[in-house]
Structure 1
Amino acid sequence: MSIRKRIAKGVMALLPTGVFLTVQYAFIIFVMVLVTAFIAIGSPGMDAGALGQSASELLLGSVMDIQVIAQFLTLLVTAPWFFFAFVYKKRKIRILRVFRPDRLAGMVILSVGFYLVINCYMAVFEWALPGVMADYLELVEESGIAGLTLMSTIATLVLAPLGEEIVYRGLTLGYLGQTGMPFWAANILQAAAFGLVHMNWVQGGYAFLLGILLGYAYRKSGTLAAPIILHMLFNFCGTYLAGALDALPGGVWWTGILLIVMILCTAAGLWLTFRGPEWGNGQE
């Protein structure tokens, strides 16, 4: 492949993130303008400061609704793009291999172990940079992700895994692979982009680690179904397992037990999920 074509593929690898951010922020700005206009029409004498505050308060109560619609709009753009660029007329992959009982069990166990790994990362981060962690927790609270509502569940467990896997493991990693660079380098770059798009140090750090794992799952399986399922399971742990861990008593003993569980689940999950040759090459 010529250098010009490699550069072109590298540029194409940047586009999915640009489209991802453009669609979501364009919709958010559109909603903000629309809400502000309606308030201005209904209260013609309101000054600019009060108008902005009223619009912000109204929007804060609908953060998750707006996020769900923005995620859905992103899918409408990126899903056909991925299909025609990387799936249409390509060799068929036996997606059902992902749903083998041992593979599914491995992904469930791995998601628990990896969530505990991220918990350790968060604990170290809070110890080292408590101010940054406090800002992150405030951001999570304001975003509505922490609340267990129907819309937050749809956003976190369904739309986010679908959209983010298509953009980063599907499109970004796909185009990076076409540049001729080795997989490990392409995987690191797509994971870095995945981390940066979260736009905060705490979430960006663990998103990078998760992106590395999900990129390998895509490479190993040959189908985007594998990282999508893993991503959904990880987000499920972050949403529901977090509450169970918070209810546990503190102390050295419980910390030691959780560390052992983390090591065992991560090791067993990796072995069950990724053992053997690539799933999609017809050789088992």
Structure 2
Amino acid sequence: MAGIVAFLAALSLRVRALRPFGVRRTRWRWVFIGIGGGVVVWIVARLLVAGYTVIFGVPENVQATYNTAAQGGVLALILSTLFLGVLTPIGEEVLFRGVLATVLLRWGWVPGVLGSAVVFMFFHGLNGFNIAYLTAIVEGIVAAELYRRSGSIWPGVIVHVTNNAIANLLAAGAG
């Protein structure tokens, strides 16, 4: 919810329209690209985590509470999927792509895509390095590049929703 609040603050301070923040309609093509991007992010992130585990050992799972919530029954699964799989991605994408990437893209694709992805990554580990960084950097790069190419935050939201939903549903199945 913090991402949505920050986005609304930026909206009220500077620009009164949503369009400059990438909140605009997109074509179905970008929706499907977003779904595929979310699947790719999930796969690449799992490979990175597996590689990290082989080299450094089993890391602490900083998102274990999310896994526990997903395993708490049908209502808990529905609520965790709604909040983690839908609302969190919307909030984070309007903030990190709609606001931050929009500003950074003024200086080119490298600051816009990579810069917003790195800030997004660090946001997922304010207390230091953790394995959530691996997923966040991949997801951030894919979402930012889709935003840059499509002009809309919605493909990135779909990447984020797809990745989080897959992880949440698989966590529920593991319980």
Residues 1:111 and 2:38 are matched in the alignment: yes
Please give the alpha-carbon distance, in whole angstroms, between the structure 2 residues aligned to 1:231 and 1:96: 16
Q: CA deviation at 1:94?
A: 6.0
Please tell me whether Structure 1 or Structure 2 has the larger radius of gyration of its CA atoms: 1
Is the 1:111–1:233 Cα contact (8 Å) retained in structure 2? yes
Aligned length: 164
5+ residue gaps, structure 2, are: 71-75
RMSD: 2.8
Residues 1:157 and 2:80 are matched in the alignment: no
Please give the alpha-carbon distance, in whole angstroms, between the structure 1 residues aligned to 2:16 and 2:152: 9
Structure 1 segment 33-112 matched on structure 2, within 5 A = 71=1, 74-79=3-8, 81-82=10-11, 85=14, 88=17, 95-97=25-27, 100=28, 102-112=29-39
Please give the alpha-carbon distance, in whole angstroms, between the structure 2 residues aligned to 1:198 and 1:218: 20
Instruction: State the secondary structure of the residue aligned to 1:145.
Output: helix
Instruction: Work out the percentage of aligned pairs sharing the same amino acid.
Output: 19
1:158-192 per-residue CA deviation (whole Å, 9 max, x = no partner) reads 221011111111111122233xx221233111111
Residues 1:122 and 2:52 are matched in the alignment: no
Is the 1:82–1:170 Cα contact (8 Å) retained in structure 2? no
Is the 1:161–1:231 Cα contact (8 Å) retained in structure 2? yes
Please give the alpha-carbon distance, in whole angstroms, between the structure 1 residues aligned to 2:167 and 2:160: 10
Is the 2:26–2:152 Cα contact (8 Å) retained in structure 1? no
Q: Closer, same or farther in 2 for the Cα pair 1:160/1:177, shift >3 Å? A: same
Is the 1:165–1:228 Cα contact (8 Å) retained in structure 2? yes
Q: CA deviation at 1:209?
A: 1.6
5+ residue gaps, structure 1, are: 1-70, 247-284
Please give the alpha-carbon distance, in whole angstroms, between the structure 1 residues aligned to 2:3 and 2:139: 21
TM-score of the pair, normalised by structure 2:
0.78
Instruction: State the secondary structure of the residue aligned to 2:152.
Output: coil
Please give the alpha-carbon distance, in whole angstroms, between the structure 1 residues aligned to 2:3 and 2:110: 27
TM-score of the pair, normalised by structure 1:
0.50
Q: CA deviation at 1:113?
A: 2.7
Residues 1:223 and 2:158 are matched in the alignment: no
Q: Closer, same or farther in 2 for the Cα pair 1:184/1:234, shift >3 Å? A: same
Q: Closer, same or farther in 2 for the Cα pair 1:174/1:96, shift >3 Å? A: closer
Please give the alpha-carbon distance, in whole angstroms, between the structure 2 residues aligned to 1:242 and 1:90: 36
1:51-82 per-residue CA deviation (whole Å, 9 max, x = no partner) reads xxxxxxxxxxxxxxxxxxxx2x5523423524
Instruction: State the secondary structure of the residue aligned to 2:124.
Output: coil
**Which residue in the other structure is 1:64 paired with?**
none
